Amino acid sequence: MDVADTAEVVETAEDNAPLAPLTTFRLGGPATRLVTATTDEEVIAAVRAADDAGTPLLVIGGGSNLVISDKGFDGTALHIATRGFRLDGTDLELAAGENWSDAVAHTVEAGLAGIECLAGIPGSAGATPIQNVGAYGQDVSATITEVVAYDRRAGETVTLTNEECAFSYRHSRFKQHPDRFVVLRVRFALEDAGGLSAPLKYAETARALGVEPGDRVPAATARETVLALRAGKGMVLDPADHDTWSAGSFFTNPILTEAEHAAFLRRVRDRLGPDAAPPAFPDGDGRVKTSAAWLIDRAGFTKGYGSGPARISTKHTLALTNRGEATTEDLLALAREVRDGVRAAFGITLVNEPVTVGVSL
Ligand X SMILES: Cc1cc2nc3c(=O)[nH]c(=O)nc-3n(C[C@H](O)[C@H](O)[C@H](O)COP(=O)(O)OP(=O)(O)OC[C@H]3O[C@@H](n4cnc5c(N)ncnc54)[C@H](O)[C@@H]3O)c2cc1C
124 as an active site residue: the answer is: no
State the amino acid at position 24 in one-letter form: T
| Nearest-angstrom CA–CA distance, 176 and 255 | 18
CB of 247 to ligand X, least distance (A): 5
Is residue 58 within 8 Å of 46, Cβ to Cβ?
no
249 as an active site residue: the answer is: yes
Q: Is 162 in the site for ligand X (CB under 6 A)?
A: no
| Nearest-angstrom CA–CA distance, 196 and 175 | 33
Radius of gyration of the chain measured on its C-alpha atoms? 21
| Nearest-angstrom CA–CA distance, 105 and 101 | 6
Q: Is 65 in the site for ligand X (CB under 6 A)?
A: yes
Q: Is 321 in the site for ligand X (CB under 6 A)?
A: no
Q: Is 24 in the site for ligand X (CB under 6 A)?
A: yes
The residue range among 55-63, 104-112, 196-204, 338-346 that interacts with ligand X, by the rule CB under 6 A, is 55-63
Q: Is 172 in the site for ligand X (CB under 6 A)?
A: no
Which residue from 282, 202, 293 is spatially nearest to 252, judged by alpha carbons?
293
Is residue 76 within 8 Å of 55, Cβ to Cβ?
yes
Which residue of the set 152, 170, 298, 311 is catalytic?
170
**Which residues touch 169 (CB under 8 Å, ≥6 apart)?**
132, 134, 252, 253, 255, 283, 289
Which residue from 138, 123, 135 is spatially nearest to 65, judged by alpha carbons?
123
Q: Is 141 in the site for ligand X (CB under 6 A)?
A: no
Q: Is 244 in the site for ligand X (CB under 6 A)?
A: yes
| Nearest-angstrom CA–CA distance, 233 and 199 | 23
170 as an active site residue: the answer is: yes
The residue range among 3-11, 127-135, 205-213, 282-290 that interacts with ligand X, by the rule CB under 6 A, is 127-135
Q: Is 30 in the site for ligand X (CB under 6 A)?
A: no
Q: Is 133 in the site for ligand X (CB under 6 A)?
A: yes
Q: Is 335 in the site for ligand X (CB under 6 A)?
A: no
Q: Which of 37, 49, 66, 68 binds ligand X (CB under 6 A)?
A: 66
Residues that bind ligand X (CB under 6 A): 24, 59-66, 80, 96, 121-124, 126-128, 130-131, 133-135, 178, 181-183, 235, 237, 244, 246-248, 355
Q: Give catalytic residue positions.
A: 170, 249, 353
